């Protein structure tokens, strides 16, 4: 047999979901074992946008595992893309004709991780022809694994998740994230907070977009919005919420897709109220 005719060995027996779970669990366990040991703190787009050797190591670990099983799949990972919207547009363009694209955030909530504030997660999604078909979010601090498969529902620890039943903003617990981009997104976010706080039960800012979205899916938060995010912060959580009966759009109410950066995610019932309040306050980030 010629060298060039040799077909590399490919493990074919595992499902996408099993690989995603394995990646999230392995990376999560490793991240947790490194908690409190970070030596070198790097910054990306701004002084508040942190990256560590643990983010990079975890992403490498996940990439390797995915490619062992699916060598022809594309991967869009946070640590593989330069910060900023232009680099993201290019990265999305580069994978747009790939049938399967894995979208990974090795640590969503790096600031929390660095400070030992136990609210961070590993987020892994798989898109087929541009549509998210699988989402896994793992919270290693609580050992909680959230899983969603398109059309098959969403689960935490094997139990189906469902969004909250709150009908009105007044009985809602919302979450948001505070932007690292201070000239445009920050004033917009502040205007949104100012308008929403008097209308809702209360507001939280936990610091992990993916985990906030998992919490909306699980009914622990009624809704969540944030400006200036990236696809790896949102993709897995968006499917979790949709499969739990909730609604995910951009902050102007347009359907969610991988390019959406300003996200509104709710139990569905309060969606219009959230969007209307953001719009009236000119706080949509558009
Ligand atoms: P990260 O920890 O993976 O960077 C907190 O509000 C959320 O914003 C987190 O999900 C965090 O993800 C994300 N985030 C932090 N810095 C960001 C940046 N410069 N651009 C976009 N999202 C960011
Ligand atoms: Ca990250």
pLDDT tens by residue, 145-180: 999 999 999 999 989 999 999 999 999 999 999 999
Cβ-proximal residues to 12 (8 Å cutoff; 6+ apart), any chain: 69
Instruction: Return contacts of 43-48, CB within 8 angstroms, 24+ apart.
Output: 44/83, 45/83, 45/84, 45/180, 45/181, 46/180, 46/181, 46/182, 48/111, 48/180
DSSP assignment of 215-258 equals HHHTTSSSEEEESS--HHHHHHHHHHHHHTT-EEEETTSPBP-T
Task: Please provide the CATH number assigned to the domain covering 169-280.
Answer: 3.40.190.80
Candidate from 105, 230, 285 with most ligand 1 atoms within 8 A of CB, to mutate: 230
Q: Are 265 and 223 in contact (CB under 8 A)?
A: yes
Q: Give me ligand 1 centre to Cα 107, in Å.
A: 10
pLDDT (average), residues 115-124: 98
CA of 50 relative to ligand 2 center, distance in Å: 8
Q: Is 110 annotated as catalytic?
A: yes
pLDDT band at 14 (very low <50, low <70, confident <90, very high): confident
Domain ranges for the chain: 11-160, 169-280
Ligand 1 within 6 A of 106 CB?
Answer: no
Is 166 part of the annotated catalytic residue set? no
pLDDT value of position 12: 62
**Can you tell me the distance from the alpha carbon of 41 to that of 37, in angstroms, rounded to the nearest whole number?**
11
Question: Which 8-state DSSP code applies to residue 209?
Answer: H
Ligand 1 pocket residue status of 241, Cβ below 6 Å = no
Among 105, 119, 174, 177, name the best residue to mutate to test ligand 1's pocket (greatest count of ligand atoms within 8 A of Cβ): 177
With a 6 Å cutoff on the Cβ, whether 109 touches ligand 1 is yes
77 lines ligand 1 (CB under 6 A): no
- Which two three-digit tokens encode residue 33? 């074992």
Distance 180 CA to ligand 1 centre (A): 7
Give the separation between CA 127 and CA 142, rounded to whole angstroms.
Answer: 27
Distance between CA 25 and CA 23 in Å, rounded?
6
- Give the predicted TM-score (pTM) of the model: 0.95
Count CB atoms within 10 A of the CB of residue 80: 14
Q: Identify whether 257 is a catalytic site residue.
A: no
CATH number for domain 11-160, candidates 3.90.76.10, 3.30.540.10, 3.40.50.300, 3.40.190.10: 3.30.540.10
For the chain, the straight-line distance linking the first and the last C-alpha, in angstroms and rounded, comes to 59
Give φ, ψ of 146 to 5 degrees: -100, 130
55 is catalytic: no
**66-79 confidence digits (pLDDT tens):** 999 999 999 999 99
């Amino acid at each position: 047999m010629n060298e060039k005719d040799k077909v590399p060995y490919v493990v074919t027996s595992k499902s996408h979901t099993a690989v995603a779970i394995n990646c999230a669990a392995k990376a999560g366990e490793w991240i947790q074992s490194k908690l409190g040991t970070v030596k070198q703190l790097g910054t990306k787009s701004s002084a508040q946008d942190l990256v560590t050797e643990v983010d990079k190591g975890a992403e490498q670990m996940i990439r390797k595992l995915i490619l062992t099983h699916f060598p022809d799949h594309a991967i869009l990972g946070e640590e593989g893309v330069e910060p900023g919207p232009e680099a993201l547009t290019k990265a999305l363009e580069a994978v747009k004709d790939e049938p399967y694209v894995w979208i990974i955030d090795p640590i969503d909530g790096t600031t929390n991780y660095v400070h030992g504030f136990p609210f961070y997660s590993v987020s892994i999604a798989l898109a087929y022809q541009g549509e998210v078909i699988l989402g896994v979010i793992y919270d290693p601090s609580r050992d909680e694994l959230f899983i969603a498969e398109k059309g098959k529902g969403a689960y935490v620890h094997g139990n189906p998740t469902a969004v909250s039943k709150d009908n009105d903003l007044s009985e809602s617990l919302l979450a948001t994230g505070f932007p690292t981009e201070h000239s445009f997104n920050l004033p917009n976010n502040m205007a949104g907070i100012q308008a929403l706080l008097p209308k809702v039960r209360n507001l939280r800012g936990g610091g992990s977009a993916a985990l906030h979205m998992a919490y909306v899916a699980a009914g622990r938060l009624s809704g969540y919005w944030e400006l200036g995010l990236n696809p790896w912060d949102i993709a897995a959580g968006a499917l979790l919420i949709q499969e739990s009966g909730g609604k995910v759009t951009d902050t102007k109410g347009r359907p969610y897709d991988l390019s959406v950066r300003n996200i509104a995610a709710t139990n569905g019932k309060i969606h219009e109220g959230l969007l209307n309040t953001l719009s009236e306050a000119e706080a949509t980030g558009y």
